[in-house]
Structure 1
Amino acid sequence: MKGLILAAGRGSRLLPLSATRPKHAVPVAGVPIIVRAVQALRQAGVQDIGIVTSPSSEQDLRDATQHSGHLTFIRQYDPLGTGHAVLTARHFLEGSSTLLYLGDNLFEDALTPLISALRYGDAAIGVKEVTNPQAFGVAVVRAGRLLRLVEKPRTPESNLAACGVFTFKPVLIDVLEDLPHSTRGEIEFPQALTQLLTQGGQVRAVEFKGFWSDAGSPEDLLSANTHYLSHLTPCQDGRVERSTVTGPVVIEAGAVVEDSVLQGPVWIGPHAVVRGATLGPFVSVGAHARVDSAQVTVSLIDEFARILHPARPIHRSLIGRHALVTAPSDTGLQMVIGDRSVMRM
């Protein structure tokens, strides 16, 4: 079996974080989303993994996965949908069964049941019970078999969301190749499952019980960051002086924490500097970031960001790479706000 991760999109709902890199490269509790995707496939026993990228996102994804072993990068030059992305990779797949992973998803559950389910059908889909099924593609399932998929229905027939991971046999590639474009002008992978059912094929449904997120919005990203931070194993490889550390805290090698209070879960990345700050719970500080005289809770601070003596506590915030958050000057507030930014004062 081969693994295929779709990661060609930028992620408009995560702007401005995704303005300069694909959302799949954004870190969650210190680990890029794309790396967590690769880990999930490898833990399921899938070692030969391809990643579908756009020309503009490929280098960022290569950089993010540089320590993830051998990966095959496949360019999708035109953004023509998830089905088109799979077809772009058909030479890589070489007629093998495939574990398909939409690259912005995060799963707590193992993916091995999807592989096992493929023994009883032509394809399998992961589903998850949600409280707002009208916001998702909804799977109608009976006795472990998919009956149909309905995209964002006003009146959902079930509360099972299709959650971005599939297995399929080579026959599905043939279905995709014959599939017409949707009203959006795209080849949509879920429509291939619908067509397969129409042709008499069988699609199994595997329900996940653990945490799942598509990390598509700032709130989703913060929730995912909180989830993974809550599973930290404490470790202090960096330097800690005159500070109080409680709860699960990871301080990576090269990081410096001085005159601070860390209330875990907190993750401090390599070579980050924290001085005179109160951090936590649920805070991640990226590599080479600097936090001086700040109070931060439930936030994601990315690499090389600087938080310098802000006048107010920081809560439930996403602070991107190389960003600066600091106190007002003598002349008052100064704002340099880029496209699609959010500021609540």
Structure 2
Amino acid sequence: MKLIIPMAGRGTRVRPHSHTTPKPLLPVAGTMIVERIVETFARTLDRTIDEIVYILGPDFGREIKETLKEMSTRHDAKATFRVQDRALGTAHAVSCAEEDLSGEVIIVFADTLFDSKEKVTVDDADSVIWLKEVEDPSRFGVAVHEGDTITDFVEKPSEPISNLAIIGVYYFKKGEDLKREIQYLLDNDITGHGNEYQLTDALDRLLKDGKVFKKATVDEWLDCGTLPAWLETTGEILAKENHAYDEYPDTTIHPPVFIGDNATITGSEIGPYVSIEADTVIKNSRIKNSIVQKNAALADCTLEDSTIGNHTELTGATGEVHVGDHSILKQG
């Protein structure tokens, strides 16, 4: 089965980090967002994914592709790359992988993490849509259902007709069917919200054509689309996974934390809710509710609600700080 991941967006709401790293490649407690999504499918889906199709932006370079190839190999899957030159909506993004829309496919938009305690079966359905119960359905596209069968899709309903939000994960038994309906939208210039080509319009056409849509509900749906959301999701994952950690000289650790390989920490207080990636050096600092990426060097810092880029040098910083890769910041 193919897994198709549109990820051409620039992730403007997680800048400065997305200036150098696409949002789906940002880490959550030691593992990239996109890899956590692949791991979730391996754990919860009754199918094996043997190819991952990444829809990238035109300016995504060789290093990004190599990272994704290595990740795919770890999960015994072939990596294929397509390009979305312009952001014209979710249906347009999927259309950029038109040559891959054949046979069984899963499409997932890599803005969020999700999980389910139960195994998801896709038998006896033309399509399966992953859903999450929400308190305020008026903020989301929702699915109306009878039992396990979906009967309608409604974008941001004004009336409480369903509290099951569409989370951006879709299975199709025949990718060719979806390809046909997306092409119809493009050929006839049928746009929806934001004057863009929307995948939900293609789903609606498939539903009206008599295709059988089933629902799969998730227990966990975590946003990574903004800096506060990335921090909050990392904190929830840290609490859930409860990583072990080493002892460090003159340092107090308040779990939950994640501390990557070859990290060096001295004279500091770390946690709670701190993720420190590999090969980072921290001296005489107090850090809580923050993300520190690889190969960073921090000294004499007191940080909270902060996100620190790869290969960044930070001295004397205090409070909430967000700095991108290869930055040097000295305060005090």
Identity of aligned residues (%): 30
Task: Pick closer, same or farther for the CA change 1:111–1:46 going to 2, 3 Å.
Answer: farther
Aligned partners of 1:289, 1:337: CA distance in 2, in Å?
15
Partner of 2:303: 314
Matched residue, 2:88 = 80
1:60–1:230 Cα change, 3 Å: farther
TM-score calculated relative to the size of structure 2: 0.83
Shift of 1:41: 3.4
Match of 1:240 in 2: none
For residue 249 of structure 1, report the CA deviation from its aligned partner: 2.6
Figure out how many residues of one structure are paired with residues of the other and give that number. 309
How far is the alpha carbon of 1:155 from its aligned partner?
4.4
Question: Deviations 1:151-192 (Å, cap 9, x if unpaired)?
Answer: 334444322111111101231221111113415343221211
CA distance in 2, matches of 1:276, 1:187: 54
Residue aligned with 2:19, SS: coil
1:98 is matched with which residue?
Answer: 105
- In 2, Cα distance between equivalents of 1:7 and 1:110: 26
Q: Please list the CA deviations of residues 258-314 of structure 1 after superposition, one character each: whole Å capped at 9, or x if unmatched.
A: 32112222211233221111111221112232221111122111123332202xx42
Maintained 8 Å contact 1:3/1:41? no
- Stretches of structure 1 that go unaligned for 5 or more consecutive residues are 234-247, 339-345
Between 121-130 and 257-266, the greater mean CA deviation after superposition: 257-266
1:278 lines up with 2:278 in the alignment: no
Could you list the runs of 5+ residues in structure 2 that have no partner in the other structure?
325-332
Query: What amino acid is the match of 1:51?
Result: Y
Q: Give yes or no for contact 1:30–1:284 (8 Å, CA) kept in 2.
A: yes
Matched, 1:225 2:234: yes
Rounded Cα–Cα distance in structure 1 between residues aligned with 2:50 and 2:79: 9
Relative contact order higher in (CA < 8 Å, ≥ 6 apart) = 2
The alpha-carbon distance between structure 1 residues 105 and 328, as it changes in their structure 2 partners (threshold 3 A), is closer
Please tell me whether residue 305 in structure 1 is matched to residue 272 in structure 2.
no
Secondary structure at 2:248 match in 1: strand
Which structure has more helix as a fraction of its residues? 2
Q: Matches of 1:287 and 1:101 in 2, distance apart?
A: 28
CA offsets per residue over residues 175-211 of structure 1, 9 Å max, x none? 1111134153432212111121222322211111x22
Q: Which residue among 38, 53, 58 is the counterpart of 1:55?
A: 58
Structure 1 segment 226-265 matched on structure 2, within 5 A: 226-232=235-241, 248-250=243-245, 257-265=248-256
> What's the Cα RMSD here?
2.7
Confirm or deny: 8 A CA contact 2:84 2:93 kept in the other structure: yes
Q: Secondary structure at the match of 1:228?
A: helix
In 2, Cα distance between equivalents of 1:71 and 1:177: 25
Q: In the superposition, relative to structure 1, how do residues 193 and 317 fare at CA in structure 2: closer, same or farther (>3 Å)? A: same
Matched-pair contact (CA < 8 Å) for 1:40–1:110: no
Runs of 4+ in 1 over 4 A off after TM superposition: 335-338
Alpha-carbon distance between aligned partners in 2 of 1:328 and 1:2, rounded to the nearest angstrom: 45
Counterpart residue number, 1:204: 214
